[in-house]
Structure 1
Amino acid sequence: MTTIRKYLQIHPSDNVLVALQDLPAGESIHFNGDSFVLPGAVAAKHKFTIEEMAPEQEIHMYGVLVGKTNRAIGKGEAITTENIYHAANDFKLGKRKLDWHKPDVSRFSNRSFLGYHRSNGTVGTGNYWLVIPLVFCENRNVLVMKEAFEEKLGFKKAKSYEPEVEQLISLYKTGASIEQLLSVDLRDVKESHRHHKLFPNVDGIKFLNHDMGCGGTRMDSDALCGLLAGYITHPNVAGATVLSLGCQHAQASILRAEIAKRDPHFDRPLYVFEQQKIGSESVLLQEALKHTFTGLIQANQQERRPAGLDKLCIGLECGGSDGFSGISANPALGYLSDMLVTLGGSVILSEFPELCGVEQELSDRCKDEETALRFMELMKTYNAKAEQDGSGFYANPSPGNIRDGLITDAIKSAGAAKKGGTSPVQAVIDYPELANTPGLNLLCTPGNDVESTTAEVAAGANVVLFTTGLGTPTGNPIAPVVKLSTNTKTFEKMPDIIDINCGTIIEGTETIEQAAERILDFVIEVASGKQVPKAVKLGQDDFIPWRRGVSL
């Protein structure tokens, strides 16, 4: 029988412990030969001191500075936003620390996945067609195309709630009261029939609306073109239809130049329609519909073929994080990251506001000084811009983060960085650049879940692994997003959103290494199209370009 631990010291130098379950006032704590009782209750995921602390004393977790006390704190007292504040060590260019222990990957050395091979050598885990507006003025036309195509071609994946509404209408017409309508159980209402999938080798046609392309800064419109080029050239994309108005900042010529930067020999179907040249909206849409349909015919000729795991590029993401994120799901992804790097694949760690406090470690792990300097400069510039606009990285934790134990940005960051494992940093990439270097890549993005996931996919991630403690419904239009819960309670509470439970690590029934291998097995199935993640089943096609202002 497994004994569930009640508390944990993450790093030998830490002066706080993490409660792994709710601990009542008076609970006896036995740690490193010392014994004391808790003066007050400590909720699971929160931290409590192992010594008496004076004002302005440093708080250490994960072996790094994560805060300072703003008053005296008693031994065994829970740390909160009232008694500590965010603090993090400064960083500077240091010596390279590139030694790392490669994990045993013998079980995966001969494994492969079934993917779509592109002429530039990349391999997709999906095969999608894109319909994209270059400017928000074309959003309506994109939606008209979606309405015309999606259901007729059998690509509508998200559950439709029209039958439930029809049931409510029927009850209303028969005289049901408000109380009766509110009490009716709609869970057994059957979904209406859907059209058969016409193109079986095409995973979907995706429509990416946004609110950019004109009216903002030229920097934002240029970045949008780079982001869209990242999607058009993505290994999961067979071709694209682009709708342009014509007079906007985000010109088709800029988009084509960005495509050429990412893939100089780009040879997939790309149809660009400019409304101000064509004139009639009906002619624009008819031409777009015809070309898109014939493009789908071409895309359907692609078939899945075996590919090595070195063709995987995994985006590492977290959202709705909690006090268990840094000790269960995130380190499991870290071990998986090291496994994939050992196998020759790529991983992308982003969310720069959530690397605050661990800059020194990550910069020391950069392969050379030039790479380290670029990372440090991006971090300093980003934080300075945030502070100039009245905020800073310290403001990143959300109310949900704080409620569940992540009470300073440095605490949140130290746990979030665990997703990147221990391998050397091979490249530092600014948004919206391409991550095409095998190994660990650092990508400058906000901590905002959708903005960051959107950017990771544009950078080349063909699978995204997304850890969550509180639960979040984020997905992506073209890359499968696999959700991993940090605790069993969330996994059981949100079975239609979460794919994998890492609460087993907290409960002691599985090691971090075992969880990582289980996750990689699942990733291979997803990459091969044999497993469909919950985000894909629910049609969670979230897409938000980053305006290069302050977004934490």
Structure 2
Amino acid sequence: MKHQVARIHPADNVLVALADLPIGTEVPWENGFITTAEAIPAKHKLAPLGLTAGQPVTMYGVLVGTAREAIRPGGRLTTANIQHATNSYDENAHQRAAWTAPDVSAWQDRTFQGYHRADGRVGTANYWLVIPLVFCENRNIQVLQDALITDLGYARRKTYQPETRKLVELMQAGKTVEEILSADLEASSDSTQKSRPFPNVDGIRFLSHEGGCGGIRQDAQTLCGLLAGYITHPNVAGATVLSLGCQNAQASMLQDEIAKRDPNFSKPLYILDQQKLGTEETLISTALRQTFAGLMLANQARREPAPLRALNIGLECGGSDGFSGISANPALGHVSDMLVALGGSVILAEFPELCGVEQELVDRSVNQETAERFSSLMKAYGDSAIAVGSGFDMNPSPGNIRDGLITDAMKSAGAARKGGSSPVVAVLDYPELVTKPGLNLLCTPGNDVESTTAEVGSGANIVLFTTGLGTPTGNPIAPVIKVSSNTALARRMPDIIDVNTGTVIDGEETIEQAGERILDYVIRVASGEEVAAVRHDQTDFIPWKRGVSL
């Protein structure tokens, strides 16, 4: 049965509207009823007993804001009457929180079909990478993409040239603007999927970027670390790297970063220096031959059974709404806890969206050193934002606010639920590699593409991505599973949503049931079932140039 409102934590003094509540709606509250003093849209918050000016606002059991002015009983919380506020935290007050792992006996013997690599990790896919070490090579990367993708059977994007040709024909036939706007174009695709000569290679990915030179030398080092994370990733069979030759991000720097992550690196890796090779024709011809040879080697890989502890799940959210923190995110939290109990790894990132829940994560840290590193990175990140006239309080987007997330602390308290309740075993700074099973915290921006890019670079072989508003974000090498927080979105944008947890809001299943359903789907995806982002060839890749990005 679907309820009208939800109280997330017993200490909360606000409620979440689960449906549109017109003014004057009587809502069950404790042993009686409250009456809405104004219309409360679904996903937004109301104060059941009202709030006085300056009174703290509590959600998820933590401080998420203070009232700017008095709010009537049954009144709606908005950016006009609520401001961002959080409690302070102290890493020296670290008190190891107890954790009771969920019962995963039914999952102990489950496996997925993955690609076993020489370093002991297991891939959920098998890609070849083509990477520029510097933005100067982006054009050559595009030339290689044009030469390889179609004839090797990897072109899959729908093309709209037939519609364009139809529009030209209508214009030439003398049709008016109004007639063109209302014309039936009979949408179709020009693309014909060719057979693949390398059936065991999922694709060739081209990681264009705007870095590698200029900026500061640390930018080049960080970029090479990220690229090394992708080259050594278990979802990658090998790589072709194009270097101009004179850039800050030298090939030797990339090789050093590869060695840090895999001292016994043995994948095929071809690095070409344009300034040494000379002409474009020589560069492209050499790159084509070497890439083709690499694909022949990559095609020898086969999927074999692997235990669930070989999964490394990135936890991400983007286009969040007022339901994300009570359906999709806690469902991922249950998945996270189950996977940790099974011996796997999970990554919780997006540090600007952990604002306000720091003490909880400090207390969940396995030791004082881990707690101190988390605190240090959070404070440094927050200070850098303030130094340029911004701050974590400016994180919520217009879409977040429109759909009920009116302070960063409110958004963060819901976002952090993706990480479940297990201990924090390690805190990583971008772009470090995950080496420990359990819950890892990774310092990244809240920007979903930058953060997803980082999580995969740190080893995530699948990303679980929650959204309440809808976002097509994908990744070049790791399947990104889109989890909708509400049923309306899943119905409106079925082409990008893989799993709907609006069923929790609708009263059809519990958080735990939704989490188990997601984990079952994760196993299928890890074994090769395609997600929406892969079908759409959505391969977003944005390195974080270490600066302020919320």
State the TM bucket, normalised to the shorter chain.
Answer: over 0.9
Counterparts of 1:494 and 1:398 in 2: how far apart (Å)?
Answer: 20
What letter is aligned with 2:317? C
Matched residue SS, 1:250: coil
Deviation at 1:35, TM superposition (A): 2.9
Per the alignment, residue 525 of structure 1 pairs with 524
- Conservation of the 8 A alpha-carbon contact between 1:451 and 1:544: yes
Deviation at 1:204, TM superposition (A): 0.1
Counterparts of 2:221 and 2:236 in 1: how far apart (Å)?
Answer: 21
**Corresponding position: 1:208 with 2:200:** no
Counterparts of 2:192 and 2:47 in 1: how far apart (Å)?
Answer: 59
Equivalent residues in 2 for 1:130-529 (5 A)?
A: 130-529=129-528
Per the alignment, residue 54 of structure 2 pairs with 56
Counterparts of 2:310 and 2:476 in 1: how far apart (Å)?
Answer: 20
User: What is the CA deviation profile of residues 128-163 of structure 1, one whole-angstrom value per residue up to 9, with x for unaligned ones?
Assistant: 000000000000000000000001100112222233
Deviation at 1:265, TM superposition (A): 0.3
Gaps of 5+ in 2: none
Counterparts of 1:172 and 1:551 in 2: how far apart (Å)?
Answer: 45
Matched residue SS, 1:380: helix
What letter is aligned with 1:534? A
Per the alignment, residue 122 of structure 1 pairs with 121
Per the alignment, residue 546 of structure 1 pairs with 544
User: What is the CA deviation profile of residues 155-186 of structure 1, one whole-angstrom value per residue up to 9, with x for unaligned ones?
Assistant: 11222223333333444454444333322334
- Conservation of the 8 A alpha-carbon contact between 2:4 and 2:27: no
Matched residue SS, 2:76: coil
Matched residue SS, 1:22: coil
Counterparts of 1:175 and 1:153 in 2: how far apart (Å)?
Answer: 41
Counterparts of 1:428 and 1:186 in 2: how far apart (Å)?
Answer: 53
What letter is aligned with 2:116? H
Per the alignment, residue 10 of structure 1 pairs with 8
- Conservation of the 8 A alpha-carbon contact between 2:111 and 2:306: yes
Deviation at 1:97, TM superposition (A): 2.7
User: What is the CA deviation profile of residues 363-413 of structure 1, one whole-angstrom value per residue up to 9, with x for unaligned ones?
Assistant: 110100000000000000000000001101110000000000000000000
User: What is the CA deviation profile of residues 248-272 of structure 1, one whole-angstrom value per residue up to 9, with x for unaligned ones?
Assistant: 1111110000000000000000000
Per the alignment, residue 535 of structure 1 pairs with 533
Counterparts of 1:238 and 1:29 in 2: how far apart (Å)?
Answer: 57
Counterparts of 1:488 and 1:542 in 2: how far apart (Å)?
Answer: 26
What letter is aligned with 1:33? N
Counterparts of 2:186 and 2:373 in 1: how far apart (Å)?
Answer: 53
Aligned length: 549
Gaps of 5+ in 1: none
- Conservation of the 8 A alpha-carbon contact between 2:156 and 2:191: no
What letter is aligned with 2:199? P
Deviation at 1:75, TM superposition (A): 1.2
User: What is the CA deviation profile of residues 515-542 of structure 1, one whole-angstrom value per residue up to 9, with x for unaligned ones?
Assistant: 111111111111101x210000001100
Counterparts of 1:455 and 1:404 in 2: how far apart (Å)?
Answer: 27
Per the alignment, residue 79 of structure 1 pairs with 77
Counterparts of 1:288 and 1:53 in 2: how far apart (Å)?
Answer: 66
Per the alignment, residue 21 of structure 2 pairs with 23
Quick check: 46-55 or 233-242, which moved more?
A: 46-55
Instruction: Report the aligned-residue RMSD.
Output: 1.1
What TM-score do the two structures reach when normalised by structure 2? Answer: 0.98
Deviation at 1:24, TM superposition (A): 0.8
- % identity of equivalent residues: 62
Matched residue SS, 1:181: helix
Deviation at 1:124, TM superposition (A): 0.4
- Conservation of the 8 A alpha-carbon contact between 2:228 and 2:257: yes
Counterparts of 2:214 and 2:305 in 1: how far apart (Å)?
Answer: 45
Counterparts of 2:37 and 2:191 in 1: how far apart (Å)?
Answer: 58
Counterparts of 1:468 and 1:163 in 2: how far apart (Å)?
Answer: 33
Deviation at 1:95, TM superposition (A): 3.4
- Conservation of the 8 A alpha-carbon contact between 2:68 and 2:83: yes
Change (3 A) 1:444 1:542: same
Counterparts of 1:489 and 1:465 in 2: how far apart (Å)?
Answer: 20
Counterparts of 1:172 and 1:118 in 2: how far apart (Å)?
Answer: 56
Matched residue SS, 1:97: coil
Counterparts of 1:6 and 1:187 in 2: how far apart (Å)?
Answer: 43
Deviation at 1:218, TM superposition (A): 1.1
Matched residue SS, 2:75: coil
Deviation at 1:198, TM superposition (A): 1.4
Counterparts of 1:175 and 1:71 in 2: how far apart (Å)?
Answer: 61
What letter is aligned with 2:167? L
Counterparts of 1:459 and 1:186 in 2: how far apart (Å)?
Answer: 45
